Chains A and B, each alone.
Chain A
């Protein structure tokens, strides 16, 4: 299970990369893509959409079913990854790289406290895998 040290995480298996003072990049974790397996469809939010922390911000579909992806922080969508609309399998192949989902301009830096560090996220995955 690949859990990069430099990222933040959510219990719902999104990762967060702080790219500058105002913005974050968001994707789904390696654990999530392994659980979903064959990703065949991605739906992304419109640019400028205002999202609340924990609100659905994208949809990822495997062959079997559709899954909501939740916004890790509150903020406004500034960029989405067009490449994965045409090639959803990029999310399986490189979830922390070219398979990223959206960029957000976050509105409340205090919300970072709600995110998990890599160690906490690893524990969350292990307990989920054990069930």
Chain B
């Protein structure tokens, strides 16, 4: 249930007009679904969908030493980015535990935009400020309440952008972004997303976002563009094998134990958590996050125990019915010796054990850009 203390995104009224079922998601009232989660899911896979993701945090970091500061706090290598490129990275603590997983946008030599998880905004900003003492002068500005974020995802995304703005963004490469002047305001268009589909994310001033949202939907009826809620956002990201903070990752889990070990660049110089991660790698990684699909008929959910024989070997971190594969799928964090593709495991659901098989991820992916 929602209440008066919940935050609303600038698109709240637009969601209500579209008859969205609203739910509380961390501090925000967000649309869970407008129609059916399954229909919304298929719209994104087959045509295109529009998401309000203004609940995500946006933080700008600038200063003469902003680049070295970012390098210090993330595990991936931001020095590899040219201006107007973005990368995905975890933010780790000294033990290598994941504080958050974020996108870093390089706006200029020493100015960066971070997109962070809604649930972690306060924690991250506090962490960033505490780590920045040796990098002054440094500005860390929270833009969450003045810049909105919407996502356009699906195979027809480029066509939808063209119908909306009367120009193409086809040449924008994946994980690149560009400024665009629209309706007397500057928006940022980034070729990124969280669905396993081609698509874009747009940063728009809060005062303009409802106008842009409506324009998208008005101009793209023929392209089949639909508003999409958090329900389908979750099934889409899970099928694409993308992790969700708080479910698949937290501060007790390191990137090396998950599927995002590739974001740890041990050769880039020093960063927070590096020593712990080097040690963990040398000792051998004891747990591993893997994908599985149910063989027995049952739906796995977060926190259900995973067994091999009678022994508990880990737990489910995410699970759902998968509309695109018509299977029940999940991710689980289990003891490494059991984490081999093809191996059979049991998922314990309401005191019964159901057979599942470890499979490679993504479960479904179709980015062709």
Contacts and interface: CB of A to CB of B under 8 A. Distances in A.
A37 interface: yes
B33 interface: yes
Contact of A38 (B36, B298, B350): B36
B162 to A, nearest CB: 32
A38 B328 CA distance: 14
Given A61-B299, A66-B299, A37 B36 contact: yes
B235 A63 contact: yes
Contacts of A37: 21, 33, 36-37
Contact of B299 (A41, A85, A131): A41
Interface string A16-52: 0000000000000000000001101101000000000
A41 B322 CA distance: 12
B320 interface: yes
B15 interface: no
Interface residues of A, number: 14
Contact of B297 (A62, A85, A131): A85
Contacts, number: 37
Contacts of B301: 65-66
A59 interface: yes
A64 B231 contact: yes
B37 A38 contact: yes
Contacts of B38: 38, 40, 63
Nearest to B350: A59
Contacts of A59: 350
Give the interface SS of chain B, mostly helix, strand, loop or mixed.
Answer: mixed
Interface in A53-70: 59, 61-66
Contacts of A40: 38, 299, 321
Nearest to B235: A63
Nearest to B301: A66
A59 B297 CA distance: 13
Size category, B interface: 10 to 19
Which of A38, A43, A61, A85 gathers most chain B CB within 10 Å? Answer: A38
B233 to A, nearest CB: 12
Contacts of A131: 1
Interface in B340-369: 350
A41 B33 contact: no
Contacts of B1: 131
A63 B320 contact: yes
A130 B201 CA distance: 35
Contact of A64 (B32, B323, B328, B350): B32
Given A37-B36, A41-B299, A131-B1, A63 B321 contact: yes
A55 to B, nearest CB: 13
Contacts of A65: 301
A1 B32 CA distance: 21
Q: Choose among A61, A64, A131 the residue with the greatest number of B CB atoms under 10 Å from its CB.
A: A64
Interface string B32-50: 1100111000000000000
A64 B37 CA distance: 9
B37 to A, nearest CB: 4
Contacts of B321: 40-41, 61, 63
Contacts of A38: 36-38
Nearest to A41: B299
Interface in B206-251: 231, 234-235
A117 B33 CA distance: 32
Interface in B18-75: 21, 32-33, 36-38
Contact of B231 (A41, A43, A63): A63
B115 to A, nearest CB: 25
Interface string A62-86: 1111100000000000000000010
B178 to A, nearest CB: 35
24 contacts: A37-B37, A38-B36, A38-B37, A38-B38, A40-B38, A40-B321, A41-B298, A41-B299, A41-B321, A41-B328, A43-B298, A43-B350, A61-B299, A61-B321, A62-B37, A63-B37, A63-B231, A63-B321, A63-B323, A64-B32, A64-B234, A65-B301, A66-B301, A131-B1
Given A37-B37, A63-B320, A64-B32, 6 more contacts: A38-B36, A61-B299, A62-B37, A63-B38, A63-B235, A65-B301
